[in-house]
Amino acid sequence: MNLKGNPGWQVLVVDDEPTVRKAVKMLLEHDGHHAETVDSGEAALAVLKHRQFDLIITDFSMPGMKGDQLVARIKKQLPDQPIIMATAFVDEFKIFGRPEGGVDLLLHKPFSLDDLRDAVAQVLAGKNPVADGSLSIVANPPPPKKFIPPTKPQRE
């Protein structure tokens, strides 16, 4: 789904890899969203003390605080905060269960622009950005938690 033309969402991108942060930010901004990036879970928590975001996209495997630990800490303070976790370990989650903390959607790395658009659309379905950066819910119930498989088979 192409979200171009919709008002821009405020998105926080959390990833320890500079190239991933830059690429995700570029993809989101290409579709008219406003993206801020940080390199760790600790940095994300610091930013969240002063700002609100419509969506958070976090990596799972990062040094220090892992993505699921970050999600759990955010959801404790902001239970309705939409969060996408991007990971190359989706198959492990399918076998051993969903990550702790209440992530709204798992996005398989590597992902395409269309995969990212679909993930953002699914997680933010029924929500509208508002001028102050907060999120208003315009549809009930919220969308179910979903899993987006990779678009191409992974080579082993």
CATH number, domain of 108, equals: 3.40.50.2300
In a domain, 3, yes or no: no
Q: Is the pLDDT of residue 156 over 60?
A: no
Distances (CA, A) of 53 to 33, 93, 106, 127: 11, 26, 18, 12
Burial class (CB in 10 A: 0-12, 13-18, 19+), 96: exposed
Confidence band (pLDDT; 50, 70, 90) for 87? Answer: confident
**Cα–Cα distance for residue pair 156/98, rounded to 1 Å:** 23
Provide the number of structural domains found in the chain: 1
More confident residue, 43 or 107: 43
Structure confidence at residue 146 (pLDDT): 54
In a domain, 46, yes or no: yes
Are 30 and 2 in contact by the 8 Å Cβ rule? The answer is no
The predicted structure's pLDDT at residue 86:
87
Amino acid letter for position 7: P
The answer as to whether 53 is a domain residue is: yes
Q: What is the mean pLDDT of residues 106-119?
A: 85
**47-74: pLDDT as tens digits:** 999 999 999 999 999 999 999 899 999 9
Domain extent at residue 97: 10-148
CA distances from 11 to 28, 33, 86, 107, 134 (A): 8, 7, 14, 15, 11
In a domain, 2, yes or no: no
**pLDDT above 90 (res 7):** no
pTM: 0.75
* Confidence bin at 143 (pLDDT 50/70/90): very low
